[in-house]
Amino acid sequence: MKEFTFKINGAEYKCAVEEIEAGKTNVTVNGKVYTVETEAPAAPAPKPAAAPAPAPKPAAAPAAPKAEAPKPAAAPAAGLQVKSPLPGSVIKVLVSEGQAVKKGDTLLTLESMKMENAIMAEADGTVKQIAVTPGQNVMQDDLLIVLG
């Protein structure tokens, strides 16, 4: 379940959103529950094929040594990716790699707009990868945890 606080025309609304099945969502607004039908987003357009690489140019004189490039982040493990529903800061990670979790178990706590949000497992599984640490800032859709 994802919780939000909205301020509309000066009035504050506390909302909780829980997907109950594909295409239907329960939305609780100030304590009143509404069942909302949703449509799946349209599939993104395919990316055009990349142009062929140009022929390499003759080598120039060796340049001064460059600083080592930062190492790329480890590729996420295969499995169900739990992503951040909104931008915020990771407060606590409540699971460890290899731990078995059930659907609805709290995986971590994310602070956003001075509210703590429990990020829960969307399915039963085992924690394969934890991609964040406490204190780390995340953006919406950043990878948090991978379940297998």
Q: Domain count of the chain?
A: 2
Q: Looking at the structure, tell me whether residues 86 and 141 fall in a common domain.
A: yes
In a domain, residue 11? The reply is: yes
pLDDT at position 124 over 50: yes
In a domain, residue 110? The reply is: yes
Q: Looking at the structure, tell me whether residues 85 and 140 fall in a common domain.
A: yes
Give the CATH number for residue 107: 2.40.50.100
Q: Which residue has the tokens 């964040």?
A: 132
Which range marks the domain in which residue 27 is found? 2-37
- Which tens digits make up the pLDDT trace of 95-120? 999 999 999 999 999 998 889 999 99
* Pairing of the two strands 24-29 and 32-37: antiparallel
In a domain, residue 56? The reply is: no
First to last CA, the chain: 20
Q: Looking at the structure, tell me whether residues 32 and 86 fall in a common domain.
A: no
Q: What pTM does this model have? A: 0.50
If you average pLDDT over residues 9-36, what whole number do you get?
79
d(CA 148, CA 134) in angstroms, rounded, equals 22
| Residue 43 binned pLDDT confidence (cut-offs 50, 70, 90) | low
**8 A C-beta contact, residue 33 and residue 20:** no
Mean of per-residue pLDDT scores for the chain: 80
Q: Exposure string (b/e) for 20-45, b if CB count within 10 Å is 16 or more?
A: eeeeeeeeeeeeeeeeeeeeeeeeee
